[in-house]
Amino acid sequence: MTAGSLVSGAYNFRDVGGLPAGSGRTRSGVLYRSGNLARLDDAGVATMRELGIRSIVDLRDDDEVANAPSLVDGLAVTTARVPLVLGSIGSFFERDASLADFYRELVDECSAQVIAVVRGILVEQPVLVHCTVGKDRTGVTVALALAAAGVDEESVVADYARSEALLPPSRNEMVVAKIRARHPDAVHLEELATRSPAPVMRGLLADLTDRYGSPAEYLRAHGLRDEELAELRRVLIAVD
């Protein structure tokens, strides 16, 4: 079993069920999130089958998929590709942007893809949303879906922040060393590669609220329909 993961061979794989949402909670067994599925072993595939996951929304670009194809053969799943990128993955480290700047650019420049991810959640459940690590692109899109569905803000932030603790230290050391060799002067390298600080997500949600009124209004402003927002709440939230 990969450390801290629900599914063997997959980093950062977890259910977002049980989060407080006003008078209700998010349903368990409906929405999952993770890093890539390129190292799934037999036990991991068996767990995926037991979870009954029917659809996958893969946020990786073509190069990421080619370099680390998902090992889901034999599973009755439908995969939707929604590449959620701002240039190449390597460009993040070349630009040395902070996580806060990265997330702000993501919601501003990739709004159509963000909407596509939310719509992908509605197609069929249980659904898994994943990227390479399950921290940033997955973190932002799942956070916006949860917030728009009515999950309490601090619970949205806490779910995002969990990723940092679920990434194995050995993985982090290897990745940081590899990237540091290419970008020795990068200031934000470790933050981009290994961290999911609560203040960053809290700041993103506050920024969307300042500019749009709420995360739900951000989604609505970029094309999500009222009936889709209502369906998102119905799918994700169980009222106590």
- Note the pLDDT of residue 183: 74
- Note the pLDDT of residue 39: 95
Q: Which residue has the tokens 């609505």?
A: 220
Count CB-CB contacts under 10 A for residue 218. 23
- Note the pLDDT of residue 3: 47
Q: 152 pLDDT exceeds 90?
A: yes
* Banded pLDDT at 90 (limits 50, 70, 90): low
Count CB-CB contacts under 10 A for residue 45. 19
Q: Which residue has the tokens 């053969």?
A: 73
Question: Across residues 82-104, what is the average pLDDT?
Answer: 80
Closest by CA to 149, choosing from 135, 159, 134, is 159
Domain 14-235, second-level architecture: Alpha-Beta Complex (3.90)
Token pair listed for 223: 């094309």
Question: Across residues 145-172, what is the average pLDDT?
Answer: 94
Beta strand segments in the chain, E? 14-15, 20-21, 24-26, 31-34, 55-58, 78-81, 127-130, 237-239
Closest by CA to 34, choosing from 136, 151, 122, 182, is 136
Q: What is the tens place of the pLDDT at every residue in 41-52?
A: 999 999 999 999
* Banded pLDDT at 87 (limits 50, 70, 90): low
- Compute φ and ψ for 66, nearest 5 degrees: -65, -40
Q: 151 pLDDT exceeds 90?
A: yes
- Note the pLDDT of residue 193: 80
Q: What is the tens place of the pLDDT at every residue in 17-40?
A: 999 999 999 999 999 999 999 999
- Note the pLDDT of residue 2: 47
Question: Across residues 155-172, what is the average pLDDT?
Answer: 92
- Note the pLDDT of residue 179: 75
Three state DSSP letters for 126-181: CEEEECCCCCCHHHHHHHHHHHHHCCCHHHHHHHHHHHHHHCCHHHHHHHHHHHHH
What is the rounded distance in angstroms from the CA atom of residue 34 to the CA atom of residue 7?
9
* Banded pLDDT at 178 (limits 50, 70, 90): confident
pTM of the model: 0.93
* Banded pLDDT at 190 (limits 50, 70, 90): confident
Closest by CA to 135, choosing from 97, 179, 176, 165, is 165
> What mean pLDDT, rounded, does the chain reach?
92
Of residues 203 and 95, which shows the higher confidence score? 203
Q: 1 pLDDT exceeds 60?
A: no
- Note the pLDDT of residue 111: 97
Q: 123 pLDDT exceeds 70?
A: yes
CB 200 within 8 A of CB 102: no
Question: Across residues 141-166, what is the average pLDDT?
Answer: 97
Domain ranges of the chain: 14-235
